[in-house]
Chain A
C-alpha cells in the first residue's frame, strides 16, 4: 500500500509539470493582445504598452519566445513565486484568497450530494417502482435537464430576493448560511447523478446471491441493507464523487458569478478574459493537484470498501 501511494505521488509530479506545460502552451497560443484586453475599449498609450510588454515579456513570441517564457515561469514557480497578474497583483495572493472559499463551497455541494443523494438513492433502490422512486426519477431528470446558468439565477431570485430565505449573494468572506444556497445549487447536479447511481447499484445488489444468503440466514432486512448492500453499492458512487470534487471546484464559474463569490471559478474566468496566462496556469495547476489527490483517495477508499482489492 505504501509503495503504491509513493508511486502514485511520483506520477503526480510528472503529471503536474505536463499539465502546466500544456496549459501554458494553450494560453500562449490563444493570446491575442492582453494589454488591450486589460484596457477594454480605451486606447492604450505607447508608454504603457512598452511598460507592460517589457514587464511581462509580451514581446517574446513564437516557439523560442514560448520556451523562454515557460521556463521563466517554471523557474520562478520552483522558487515559490507564481508571478504577477497584469494589474500587478501577486498571483499567489489571489490563489490564497480564492481557494478557501471555493473549497468550502465545493464541500457543501458535495455534502448535499452525499447526504441527500445517497440517502434518497438507497430508499429509491429498496422501493423500486414505488411512488418515491418514480417521483425522484422525475425530479432528478428535471434537475439534470436544467443548466446551472438557469437554475442559479432562479434560485437566487426566488429564495434570495423574493422570499428572502437566504442572502442573495455570498461575497468574499461568507458564513456557512450564505454559502448554503450556492452550495445546494452547485451540488444539485451531482446530487441527481449520485441518486441515480446509488439507486441502480442498490437495486442490483439487492438481487445478488449474498443478499439471498443473508436473508435465508435470517438477518434483519435493515442490517442487510445498511451493512452488506450499501457497502457494495457505494463503490461506483465513491468513484463518481471523488472525480466530482474536482469538477465542483473547477466548474463553479457560473455559480460563483451569480452569487458573487470571488473563488477559483471567478478568477479562472477573469484570467481567460484578460488573457492572463500565468493566472490561468496557476489556478489550473492547483486544480490538477486536486484531481490527482482526490483520485488517489478514491483508489485507496476502494481497498477499504472492498477487501478483495489490494494494491502492491
Chain B
C-alpha cells in the first residue's frame, strides 16, 4: 500500500521532469541567427545532389555553389564561358570544348576532359535512372545507352582530344548546344565520385565534391541544412561570402517568419500568403527580378468543343490578364501575350496579336459566330494554389462570353495528366513551364512540337515542327531566331494554348546581407551575395 501510494505520487512529476530533461539535452539549435560571415538561404529538401539527377530548384541551388558551369549567361541571356575556355563549332554538329586550366576539384584532383566525359556518360546511361538524362539525347550515340539492357556504356559522340579539350558530336546540328551547356546536368564529376568506372559511390551524394566556388562543410544534413564554405583554390572570381548555409524548410511561411525576425538571410520565393504584406514588411528588401516561368491554359485536341481556333481566340480575348495579375498576384507575375518567355533572346511582345488583347465585345461576337460550347470547364491541380486565379478567370469568361464556366480541381497534377492521357473530358486545363536554358527552342520544342515532352494536349502542326527543326539546325543564331519567329506566328494563328502569365522571382532578404541577386532559374547568385557590415 505504501509503495503504491509513493508510486502514484512520483509517477506523474517524474514523467514530467524526465520529459523536460530529455528536451534540455538537445544541443545547440540550427535556428540561431547565422554568424556574420555566413549567409543563410532557404531551400526545400533537395531530391538529389548528383548534378545529372538534379532537376528541381533546391538541388540546383546547392550544386550551383559546388560546381562551376561550362557556360553561364550574360545580361542578354546569351552564353558566356566560365569553366570552358572556348566552345566552338564550324557546323553546329561537331563541337570542341576547351577547358580553362587551373580548375581543381575540392579534393585536389585536377579537372580534365575525362571528368566531363565520365559524368555525361553516367548521366545518359539509362539504368542509372538519372532525372536529367534527356539533356544528353542530342549527343551521338545516346540511343545506345537506352533501354533495359543498353548496348553501350559510353556515348560515341564524346571524344577526348587532350587533357583539357574534348569533342562532342551531336546526332544533328544544334545551334543552341552552347546555351544548353549552362544547365547543371553538364557539370563534371571527379574520379573520387566513382567506386568503379561508371558506378557512382553511394556516399558521393551525401557530400558532393565539385570544382565550384564553394565546397561542402560536413555532409548533407537531411531535412535540416547543407553547409558550404569558400573554396580557396577556385581559379576565377571568388565569392564574397565565406560560408553559405542552405537551410531546409518544409513550408515557405515558416521561412518567411524567420526572414522577418532576421533569422534567415535570403528567401528566394515569398509565399503567396504573404505577398500582400511583404512590401510593407520588408521595404526595399522586397525585390523582384525576371525568371522564366510561363503559365497557360491548354486545349486538348481530342475535345471537339475547342477545335475551331476562333473559339480558342475568343476565350483568350475574354480574359482580362491585367486585372488578374494585379488583384490576385499583386503584380508578382506579369500578363503574357506571347508564347515564349520575355527573358529569351528573340522574344517579341504580343505575338498572340488581337487574341491577346482584352476585348469582351469582340470576344463574345467571335465566340458566338464560331459556335463555342455552352459550358466550359477549366481543370487544374488542387495542390498548387491555383484555385483563386482559375475561379477569377472562370468568372471573367462567364461575364464576358455569357456561358457557364466552372473550375474543376483534380487532387494532384498526376491525376490531371492521367485524365488528359485517357482523353477524358477535362475542358481547358492549366499548365506551366520553366525553361532549362534560355533558348526559344526550349519553349517551342517541348511545349508545341508534336513529340514535345510537355505537349500533353496533342497539338500537332507539321509546318510548325519543320520550322522549329530548321531553326535548331540553322547555321547562325540570327537565322535560327528567324525560323523560331515564323514558328511562333503559326502558334498565334492556331492558338493551341492561351498564354496567361509570365512569372517573376519575388524574393526578400534580411538586413544582414546585401547584393542579393536571383537568376532566371530561381537561384540566388552565390558569387555576389555578401554579409552587410
Contact = CB atoms under 8 A, between A and B. Distances in A.
Interface in B119-143: 126-131, 133-134
Interface in A38-62: 38-43, 45, 47-48, 50-52, 55
Interface residues of B, number: 67
A139 interface: no
A107 B28 contact: no
B127 A51 contact: yes
Interface in A163-183: 164, 167-176, 178-179
B289 interface: no
A262 B223 CA distance: 6
Contacts of B326: none
A259 interface: yes
A43 B22 contact: no
B202 to A, nearest CB: 9
A43 B20 contact: no
B418 A259 contact: no
Contact of A169 (B133, B221, B263): B263
A110 B22 CA distance: 13
Contact of A114 (B7, B12, B48): B12
Interface in A92-123: 93-94, 97-98, 101, 103-104, 107-108, 110-111, 114-115
Contacts of A89: 222
Contacts of A257: 250-251, 254
Interface stretch (B72-80, B153-161, B298-306, B409-417): B409-417
Interface stretch (B29-37, B488-496, B513-521): B29-37
A111 B19 contact: yes
Contacts of B414: 32-33, 36-37
A266 interface: yes
Interface in A266-309: 266-267, 269-270, 273, 301, 304-305, 307
A170 B23 CA distance: 13
A167 B126 CA distance: 46
Interface string A74-104: 0000000000000111000110011001011
Given A32-B418, A114-B16, A40 B255 contact: no
A301 B384 CA distance: 47
A42 B55 contact: yes
A173 B261 contact: no
A167 B1 contact: no
A151 to B, nearest CB: 14
B29 A175 contact: yes
B4 A87 contact: no
Contacts of A178: 29, 31
B27 A260 contact: no
Interface in A242-267: 256-260, 262, 266-267
Interface stretch (A3-11, A154-162, A199-207, A212-220): A154-162
B260 A161 contact: yes
A127 interface: no
A137 B421 CA distance: 56
Contacts of B7: 304
A258 B254 contact: yes
Contact of B254 (A48, A111, A259): A259
Contacts of B30: 171-174
Contacts of B413: 36-37, 40-41
15 contacts: A37-B412, A47-B126, A50-B129, A51-B127, A87-B47, A94-B223, A107-B18, A107-B22, A107-B23, A110-B19, A153-B253, A169-B258, A173-B29, A179-B23, A260-B254
Q: Which 3 A-B pairs have the closest CB atoms?
A: A51-B129, A172-B224, A107-B19
